[in-house]
């Protein structure tokens, strides 16, 4: 089985806590894995999403996606695990906006 762990920054504490500490156990089970960094620009993302079809499981951490990216992710994923450890639908709360309709809608579409 081949697993892709997708992140925006592998040095983030949440990635280290939720993924990196378990990699030795994954290796013990003879599972293959890659840590992939989500590209920032549109054309690189197109190539990125198309390569996800080679993995059996996509472990997606925390990042909410726009319509096209979400469509491409779902189209190229056999099994998708969406891991979120924060209230990603409320990330605008630091600006006092606890009811972000845009983030709530994107969060719902991820599921």
CATH of residue 30's domain is: 3.40.50
Helix, strand, or coil here: 3? Answer: strand
Rounded Cα gap, residues 19 and 5, in angstroms: 8
Total number of domains in the chain: 1
pLDDT at 97 over 70: no
Question: Is 28 a domain residue?
Answer: yes
Question: H-helix or E-strand containing 109?
Answer: helix 101-110
The DSSP symbol for 30 reads T
Rounded Cα gap, residues 64 and 82, in angstroms: 10
In this prediction the pTM is 0.75
Question: Is 40 a domain residue?
Answer: yes
Question: Is 106 a domain residue?
Answer: no
Question: Is 110 a domain residue?
Answer: no
What is the pLDDT at residue 100? 64
What is the pLDDT at residue 53? 92
Question: Is 100 a domain residue?
Answer: no
pLDDT confidence band for 18 (50 / 70 / 90): confident
What is the pLDDT at residue 37? 94
Question: Is 94 a domain residue?
Answer: no
pLDDT confidence band for 60 (50 / 70 / 90): confident
Question: Is 76 a domain residue?
Answer: yes
pLDDT digits (tens, 9 = 90+) for 63-85: 777 788 888 988 999 998 887 66
Q: Which residues constitute the domain of residue 67? A: 2-86
């Amino acid at each position: 089985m081949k697993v892709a762990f997708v992140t925006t920054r592998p040095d983030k504490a949440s990635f280290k806590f939720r993924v990196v500490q378990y990699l030795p156990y994954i290796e013990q089970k003879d599972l293959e894995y890659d840590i992939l960094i989500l590209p920032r620009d549109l054309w690189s993302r197109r190539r990125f999403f198309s390569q996800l079809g080679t993995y059996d499981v996509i472990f997606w951490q925390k990042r909410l996606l726009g319509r096209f990216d979400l469509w491409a992710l779902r189209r190229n994923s056999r099994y998708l695990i969406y891991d979120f450890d924060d209230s990603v639908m409320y990330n605008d709360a630091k600006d006092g906006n606890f009811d972000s309709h845009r983030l709530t809608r994107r969060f719902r579409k991820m599921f």
